[in-house]
A and B are shown apart, each in its own frame.
Chain A
Amino acid sequence: MARAAVPGGLSPRLVWRAARLVEFRDETPSARTLVFDVPDWPGHLPGQHVDVRLTADDGYSTQRSYSIATPADGSRVVLTVQLVEDGEVSPYLTETLSVGDVIELRGPVGGWFVWRSADPAPVLLIGGGSGIVPLMAMIRARRAAGSKALFRLIYSARTPEDRYYADELRTRVRDDFGLDVSYVYTRKTPEGWPLPPRRLGVADVNNGGWPPDFQPACFVCGPTGFVEAVADILIALGHDARRVKTERFGPSGT
């Protein structure tokens, strides 16, 4: 059911809003960051997502959910979308949508998988593939808020070329005091990497994470198998299940 946006966002309803693409950049050969201008956007917390709706000329419409990649910044809503070859929505968003084009979105959605900048507890972020997106929003929000909370990110990617935000993460590790990042490669490693490609394991979480005694807030995001494995590792290492928040992708992550 189509609904017009309520100016000023006075309604608590999640209304569909017109989102105009103002800028894009490619993160990898198959992932694109899309910067939208959404008038009257009510703001959001890092970790939340939006529903995107596309409607064809014949009236057929379809929806998908995407995590927001940046902290709240006025009317800006930034998504990073992974191309899924046989997907229905992601090919349009990553290959066809042009600057000036308008799509519909609504949100923010999800009040559980969020980091609040007032929380001083150490944070452990573990992302697989495009699961980095909501975690990056938290890393960016930390910097934007001047938070001193200690952050560690473990990022599992298929190859070095599949990493999102590679340059920015390098810069942030240098400049954002209290942020550490470690990588796991599942298909191909960089030149000279000390380990063969493999799935993230207990040692990676042990070395790249926080001891359970620190009671970190843990955020795990990625494909289902990845999240299942990582959450099990965290519990086995002694982390409190209530401190482990997960976001699992649906069938394809589109």
Chain B
Amino acid sequence: MRLPPGQYLTEDFPVLTAGPTLRVPTDTWEFVIITEAGEKHRWDWKQLMALPSERPTVDLHCVTKWSKLRTDWQGVSLDVLLDGVDTAADYAMVHSYGGYTTNLPYEDLRNGQAWIAYKFDGEDLTPEHGGPARLLVPHLYLWKSAKWVRGITLTDEDSPGFWESAGYHDYGDPWREQRYQGD
């Protein structure tokens, strides 16, 4: 059984967003990592496309209870992006176009656990699902996989992002059913 507690299976790919869908053009798109020392690392769309990519097949678990198994993505591993970044940060705040934020521990971005994903099922990722590029951290509830991602700020201290400030769990492990603060 590969379903975490309280989840049910869906074949659809539901859309859950707090506001309107953003349309971010790739010609002005950029992705920026800022370290705790303020050092900036920047990639534009062409540079991202030129990096080696992976094709992870992963299960998705949404805090609203649905799970979708064996989804097919393509994107750049955060290991590739972070390898040249000098940091000893413990936490990361992920930022999206439109202002969405979500927090997670730095180590959850490393060791083949996270990607900047730009293709789903072999097709360009649609805006509804976070295209042109979204974070993909499938071992955490899906709100951590920020749509329309534009950057990551590395920090020494943890602070809550958008949903985390609204009562959702700081870490969000589906297997421990960490949906809300205190779970």
Beta-carbon contact of A246 and B20 below 8 Å: yes
Chain B nearest CB from A62 CB (Å) reads: 6
- The interface residues of chain B lying within 8 Å CB-to-CB of A231 are 19-21
Q: Kindly state the separation between the CA atoms of A224 and B126 in the bound complex, as whole angstroms.
A: 14
- The interface residues of chain B lying within 8 Å CB-to-CB of A172 are none
Q: Cβ of A235 < 8 Å from any Cβ of B?
A: yes
Which secondary structure dominates where chain B touches chain A?
loop
Beta-carbon contact of B177 and A228 below 8 Å: no
Q: Cβ of A64 < 8 Å from any Cβ of B?
A: yes
Q: Kindly state the separation between the CA atoms of A248 and B15 in the bound complex, as whole angstroms.
A: 7
Q: Which residue of B lies closest to A241 (CB)?
A: B20
B-facing mask of A94-131, CB < 8 A → 1, else 0? 00000000000000011111000000000000000000
Closest 10 CB pairs of A and B: A13-B182, A231-B20, A111-B166, A251-B12, A251-B10, A250-B14, A63-B6, A224-B15, A14-B180, A251-B14
- Say which residue of B12, B19, B162, B182 sits within 8 Å of A11 (CB atoms): B182
Q: Cβ of B5 < 8 Å from any Cβ of A?
A: yes
- Say which residue of B17, B65, B128, B180 sits within 8 Å of A63 (CB atoms): B65
Q: In the complex where A14-B182, A232-B21 touch, is A242 in contact with B6 (Cβ < 8 A)?
A: no
Which residue numbers of B lie inside 8 Å of A, CB to CB?
Answer: 5-6, 8, 10-12, 14-22, 62, 64-66, 98-99, 128, 162-163, 165-167, 177, 179-183
- Say which residue of A1, A63, A109, A234 sits within 8 Å of B20 (CB atoms): A234
Which chain A residues numbered 115 to 169 have a C-beta less than 8 Å away from chain B? none
Beta-carbon contact of A228 and B128 below 8 Å: yes
- Say which residue of B11, B15, B64, B167 sits within 8 Å of A65 (CB atoms): B64
Q: Cβ of A26 < 8 Å from any Cβ of B?
A: no
